[in-house]
Chain A
């Protein structure tokens, strides 16, 4: 190797070394910045995931509570219907009792109206398909409530005042 080649080689190594120094100086902050971004983002997401689970659990708890409250209301309505059905088996009620039955019919109709309004207000939840079965049972019970009010009216106020109906009962009892 002559002197010229030696100088050329030395120049080459000098440049490489400088390039390496420049690389560290220029890119390190960018790499660090990216690393910082990922680290922060990862940390936030880790926290967020935990928060999401908590939020989701709260949300699911609320749905379960909502389903339970619908079921409790539906069961109460069913109880009222069954008690009202039993009343229809009482014979020859006195005026005092008929007055109470009349009030009962009015109260059932008021209750029906309130519950029906509640059901209408739940349209958004129905559209989302939440508590589908409970909703179906709830509205079905609400409808039955209206029906039992009409049936009590028929049983105690309209049919007994129908002479033909009364006459048929007498004829049937003699068969």
Chain B
């Protein structure tokens, strides 16, 4: 599984990891997204009407109760992380509006077309973001 992400995801992640209340986010991401197969990642709330390119909102329990938005392109075995927000704490909020979901969905399409993405890998339990 190749994991990529948008600028928006990277920015939100970096904002959260600087805050002590959300320091667990890095481990939560590694544990949930890495070394998993497509089936294991195909769960949560599917926001679009597609089995082959599911746009997923995933609740991950933990200190912040994170919500991850990602797109799976099953035939390519690629996962695109679009956005993350905690549900609780000083940077937490309930949900994102449908307009933002649409915007992120549009953005990932544009970024896939233009290769304007970051590859996300793990090294020594740390996430590494590499611009394509």
Q: Which residues of A contact B (CB under 8 A)?
A: 81, 85, 88-89, 91-92, 140, 143-144, 146-148, 150-151, 154-155, 158-160, 162, 164-166, 168-169, 171-173, 175
Does chain A have a CB within 8 A of B35?
Answer: no
| Distance of A155 Cα from B105 Cα, bound (Å) | 14
Using a CB–CB cutoff of 8 Å, the interface residues on chain B facing chain A are 42-55, 57, 59, 65, 71, 73, 87-88, 94-95, 98, 101-102, 105-106, 108-109, 112-113
**Closest chain B CB from A8 CB (angstroms):** 95
| Neighbouring A residues of B94 by C-beta, 8 Å | 143, 146-147
B101 near A154 with CB under 8 A, answer yes
Which residue of B has the minimal Cβ distance to A91? Answer: B49
15 CB contacts below 8 A, A to B, read A85-B43, A143-B94, A146-B94, A151-B57, A151-B95, A154-B47, A155-B45, A160-B49, A165-B105, A168-B106, A169-B49, A172-B109, A175-B73, A175-B112, A175-B113
Contact (Cβ within 8 A) A88 B47: yes
A162 partner residues in chain B, CB cutoff 8 A: 98, 102
- Contact flag A169-B48 (CB < 8 Å), given A140-B65, A159-B101: yes
